[in-house]
Copies of this chain bind each other. A is one copy, B any other.
Amino acid sequence: MAAAVSSEVEIKEVEEQLVTPWEVEAKDGGKIDYNKLIKDFGCQKVEPEMVARVEKLTGKPAHPFLRRGVFFAHREFDKILDAFEKGDKFYLYTGRGPSSESLHLGHLVPFMFTKYLQDAFKVPLVIQLTDDEKFLWKNIKLEETRRLARENAKDIIACGFDINRTFIFSDFDYVGGEFYRNMVRIGKCVTLNQVKSIFGFVNEDHIGKVMFPPVQAAPSFPTSFPQIFGDEKKSKKIRCLIPCAIDQDPYFRMTRDVAPRIGFQKPALIEALFFPALQGESGKMSASNPNSAIYVTDTPKQIKLKVNKYAFSGGRDTAEEQRQFGANIEVDVSIKYLSFFENDDEELERIKQEYKTGKLLTGEVKKLLIDVLTKMVEGHRQARAAVTEEMVDAFMAVRPLPGMFD
């Protein structure tokens, strides 16, 4: 069983690298070994043939995050493509834990990719805001988590989701009815031993933590949204695809284990690398250190300062050495960030080559990155400013979404 396997995995990971929904730590402060993670978690690598198949099926170029291996791992994404090819429906599910006022660029990655998937496949999407999780894990007032959920919804909407195909909900507002009944069905299929081994819970933890995994699992099952997707009998067998960062995998390993036992399809996953901190690639960005990340609320001046001051450089100590030996682009954070956000493949390749061979200096590469990020953050700022309270209400309104049965 999945849980038994992951139990062994967790124990190994503590000695080596550690990846849970709440903690990401590379071995000896080095880089996360993603190949090892794929093997330990038991997911599959996204191969170039799969990317080509996506392009063929959707008739659109693949998103840079897919072409460049940002979304590098999957579980049964091939079955989603099979279903789509046959004309069968599926829906997307992603989410966010609203723990802070403003998002950083790493938070945007799954949403940017999810928007691409929604546009390319023309499918419905549900977005869960886990305000209950944040209340349970953080020292934060319940009402504050609900306020943050709504603020974060504005940033999510600003990513450009199609209001006709998107339902955003907060757990504290939405849990109830068939969603709650699915939580209870899920809870009946998972033992305390299993959640202890999957999530590392201990007897000293409060039971709110134990209550939560079924809440994150429930949106993987279409009947959790009867007013959104309609008719239970028709919707029960519809597949779900979850784009997320790979640290969320434990939740969905559990969910996939439970799914067939309660009459549902296993949700498929497509999983992303962690977005690196400015200081380097040893883990995810830290919300507690504002200088470890670029926020969507940062001013052009702040972006310039953070990149110049904190972005870890793979370049040489002096201009002369750089000209002579070139940069180590494998550890250079500016290159990493450009690999996420410089959409022009040729331009990205040019920058990498010239930096590697010493034609470009660190300062010059940072300037290119600052331009890209400033434009991107400014675009987000404008889009977010245009999101009205009425739009939030509309995205969060419980109403039927088309596309499921038409």
Cβ of A30 under 8 Å from chain B: no
Interface size on A, residues (CB 8 A): 37
| Cα–Cα distance between A188 and B207 once the two chains are bound (Å) | 6
B208 near A203 with CB under 8 A, answer: no
The quantity of this chain's copies bound in the complex is: 2
A183 contacts which chain B residues (CB < 8 A)? 211
Residue A53 lies at the interface, judged by CB distance under 8 Å to chain B: no
Q: Is the CB of B207 within 8 A of A213?
A: yes
Contacts A181-B172, A211-B210 given; does A205 touch B191 at CB 8 Å:
yes
5 examples of A-B residue contacts, CB within 8 angstroms:
A136-B187, A176-B176, A189-B206, A191-B204, A194-B207
- Name the interface residues of A185-225: CB closer than 8 Å to any CB of B: 185, 187-196, 201-208, 210-211, 213-214
Interface hits, A114-155 → B, CB 8 Å: 132, 135-136, 142
Q: Are A203 and B207 in contact (CB under 8 A)?
A: no
Given contacts A136-B187, A172-B180, A175-B180, contact A203 B193 (CB under 8 A): yes
A174 — which chain B residues lie within 8 A by C-beta? 176
Interface residues of A (CB under 8 A from B): 132, 135-136, 142, 172-177, 180-181, 183-185, 187-196, 201-208, 210-211, 213-214
The interface residues of chain B lying within 8 Å CB-to-CB of A135 are: 184, 188
- Nearest B residue to A136, CB-CB: B188
The residues of B that contact A208 with a CB separation of less than 8 Å are 184, 187-188
In the bound complex, CA of A196 to CA of B202 (Å) = 12
Q: Do B206 and A188 have beta carbons less than 8 Å apart?
A: yes
Known pairs A132-B184, A175-B180, A181-B172; A191 contacts B214 (CB<8 A): no
Q: Contact: B136 with A184, CB < 8 Å?
A: yes
Contact status B187-A205, CB under 8 Å: no
Tell me, in angstroms, the Cα distance from A173 to B176 when the chains sit together: 7
Chain B residues with CB below 8 A from A203, complex form: 191-193, 196
What is the minimal beta-carbon distance from A179 to any residue of chain B, in angstroms?
A: 8
Q: List residues of chain B with CB within 8 A of the CB of A136.
A: 184, 187-188
CB pair A192 B207 closer than 8 Å: yes
On whether the beta carbons of B193 and A204 are closer than 8 Å, the reply is yes
Residues of the B chain whose Cβ atoms lie less than 8 Å from the Cβ of A194: 207
CB distance from A5 to the nearest CB of B (A): 18
Cα distance A357–B195 in the bound complex, in angstroms: 63
Report the minimum CB–CB distance from A362 to chain B (whole Å).
47
Residues of B within 8 A of A190 (CB): 206-207
